[in-house]
Structure 1
């Protein structure tokens, strides 16, 4: 009888514990502490390292109002976007209107001295043998492309050195040709409207290579 009573008691205790666990709820987490005025909030590392918006990289200064009778100029050429941006940043706060434009250009890369193309590869090689017989060095026969069958006599950065090479070959009876080496490039110009007497040179010191061209203000 006593054993049966103990079993019944244990069963009741287990049922009570199970009911207590089923009704139990975890307490809600405490609210985050209030941030006092003047105290910065937490920022995720990814947010802190995010790059600035594209607009932040543009010219931020606001131009002054356009004068009633402005002077309008085109300044350039600027060879690189970095030079263009620096000039725009320097002049924008002092002009009434400013913008830039990109134009195609040709950039000088040096000079080439050569003998004109022969009628065939065999003729070009014969000319090369004549050069060697007269002690001329540093040449080669071009075998393909737009300059095929010409005899290259050198590439030069300095015009004076190129002229010297050409003259030496001509003195030996060869019809040497000197021509500039160019390639397509881009240039940028700044168009602006400002009050009369505007001195852009004071804002761009050292840029003596820039040109100033009056343009129509319309």
Structure 2
């Protein structure tokens, strides 16, 4: 009985020792330094953060680069869509480009008329005199700021308006021509070129017949 108990004790001790050797924490082996003390670690380009690449890509141009820029403005364009189309064409040819809006007074037509009469009766009498001389395309204004004025036509082209005025004047009347204007938005493109302006730059933009390119201050 004693021998059996001793045998079981020795077996338990052996098993415990084996488990300790198998699962005990071993001290970590210090890795050898990649470089000598005081020497910065070599860093591969692929290990750098994406922010570093973005910072390099967005680095501002040097003053020397900006001094060599040739800056121009192109316009005016009557609609934002026209300016956007031109911008899409010019963007690959420029260093930077932007669109901006201005307001300009534009001619909307030419109005030929006989000035307002003191009374409606006088206006109607003058209208009958016009009709008696073969003029039938007129209108007597009956209300508003131009009341008792006789309108003789609104023309898009100034030459046509001048001919109408001369025609009525030849009949013994004293017509006037008034230029009608309106304050409307127009659009310009400001851009910078790295070198000289190509001679055919404006002709590359479709539908820009009334627009022109002129030098401007660089921004």
Task: Give the RMSD, CA atoms, in angstroms.
Answer: 2.1
Q: Which residue of 2 aligns with 1:182?
A: 181
8 Å CA contact 1:73–1:193 kept in 2: the answer is: yes
What is the CA distance between 1:86 and its match in structure 2? 0.9
Kindly report structure 1 stretches of 4+ aligned residues shifted beyond 6 Å. none
Conserved 8 A contact 2:77-2:208: no
Q: What TM-score, normalized to structure 1?
A: 0.63
Which secondary structure state, in structure 2, belongs to the residue aligned with residue 91 of structure 1?
helix
1:135 alignment partner, SS class: coil
CA shift, 1:130, in A, is 2.0
Equivalent residue, structure 1, for 2:49? none
Q: Which residue of 1 aligns with 2:157?
A: 158
- The alignment partner of 1:89 has SS state of helix
- TM-score using structure 2 length: 0.63
> Distance between the aligned counterparts of 1:173 and 1:102, measured in 2?
47
Matched, 1:123 2:122: yes
Aligned length: 154
Alignment of 1:170 onto 2:169: yes
The answer to whether the 8 Å contact 1:74/1:214 transfers is yes
Q: Structure 2 matches for 1:30-45, cutoff 5 A?
A: none
Query: 1:175 offset after TM fit, Å?
Result: 0.7
Alignment gaps of 5+ in structure 1: 1-64
Report the counterpart of residue 210 of structure 1 in structure 2: 211
Q: Distance in 2 between matches of 1:113 and 1:144?
A: 18
Aligned twin of 1:79 = 78
Structure with the greater alpha carbon radius of gyration? 2
Quote the Cα distance in structure 1 between the aligned partners of 2:189 and 2:162.
37
Task: Give the direction of change, closer, same or farther, for the CA distance of 1:198–1:124 in structure 2 (3 Å limit).
Answer: same
